[in-house]
Amino acid sequence: MNKSALVFAVTLVSSVALYGVPAKAADLYGGMKDDPYIAPAPPVFSWTGYYVGLQTGYEWNRAKHQLSFDDDALDIIGSGTTRPSGWIGGGYTGYNWQSQNWVFGVEGDFEGGNLSDSRTWTYPEGNTQIKSKLRWQGSLRGRVGWAANKTLLYMTAGWAFARAETSARVDFDNGPIDVLGQGTSNKTLNGWTVGGGVEHAFSNNMTLRLEYRYADYGSTSSSITDGVSIGSQSVDLDTHAIRVGAGWKF
């Protein structure tokens, strides 16, 4: 081996020793670095479970009175409407079961109120007055909704019941017939209700809701008497209500 070849070989070996080994070490070190930290996704809220709550709202009621009499002289009295509307309040409880985004449940509620209204007609022969009052009401319903994590849009429907008082008073004493008759009904009515709403969970336990419901309680009837029966009154009752509620999920 000549001198030039020897110098070249020494130079090549030195280069590998000086530059190749650190590069290999750097590559080896780099391969041992930790992967970037990725935070775990926050847990998805579940609507499954029991809950209780308080609710209040405003209710618009319509009581359609139909009066009929045995004496044709009273045929001028026919029908009228009272609207016992006002504030209501009570509580609710139920259970939800969630499957993916669908939420199914059953719920019951009970409310009190003292909603009343009356109407009076005056005739040359006398006057007639009708009254209606709603004391309390409740329902047992199914619910089905679509959940976007902590927000739930839902529909609800089921059985509804209410305690209603209705009355009619007829006072005719200035004409061909002299009548002072009255009829009263104080019954628990049964019907159905349907509505929908939106509910949002502000924590794992606390929820707030806004809901609308319509209810039809059917009809009630009573005899109008003046010592003996002189006619009858039939009243159909339905309601519209907007409620807000605050619940606690277990």
Quick one: pLDDT at residue 6?
A: 47
| 3-state DSSP assignment of residue 46 | coil
In a domain, 121, yes or no: yes
Residues 176 and 62 in one domain: yes
Residue 149's region, left for phi above 0, alpha for psi from -120 to 50, else beta, is left
State mean pLDDT over 140-164: 97
Residues 101 and 206 in one domain: yes
In a domain, 158, yes or no: yes
Q: Phi then psi for 30, rounded to 5 degrees?
A: -65, -35
Task: Give per-residue pLDDT as tens, 14-39.
Answer: 554 444 444 444 444 455 556 677 76
Residues 2 and 109 in one domain: no
Which helix (H) or strand (E) element contains residue 221? strand 206-226
Residues 201 and 144 in one domain: yes
Quick one: pLDDT at residue 176?
A: 65
- Specify the amino acid at residue 150: K
Both tokens of 225, joined, read 């008497």
Residues 25 and 73 in one domain: no
Q: Is the predicted pLDDT of residue 123 greater than 50, yes or no?
A: yes
Exposure letters 213-222 (e unless 16+ CB within 10 A, then b): bebebebbeb
Quick one: pLDDT at residue 34?
A: 62
Q: Which of 76-90, 101-115, 182-196 has the lowest mean pLDDT?
A: 76-90
Give the DSSP letter of residue 74: G
CB atoms within 10 A of CB 26: 10
Which helix (H) or strand (E) element contains residue 8? helix 3-15
Quick one: pLDDT at residue 121?
A: 82
Quick one: pLDDT at residue 180?
A: 80
Yes or no: say if 198 and 212 are a contact pair by the CB < 8 Å rule: no
Give the DSSP letter of residue 18: I
Residues 106 and 30 in one domain: no
Dihedral sign for Cα atoms in the order 140, 195, 46, 52: negative
Task: Give per-residue pLDDT as tens, 36-90.
Answer: 777 676 678 999 999 999 999 999 999 999 988 877 766 666 788 999 999 999 9
In a domain, 58, yes or no: yes
Residues 234 and 204 in one domain: yes
Which helix (H) or strand (E) element contains residue 25? helix 21-31
Rounded CA separation 57/47 (Å) = 24
Total number of domains constituting the chain: 2
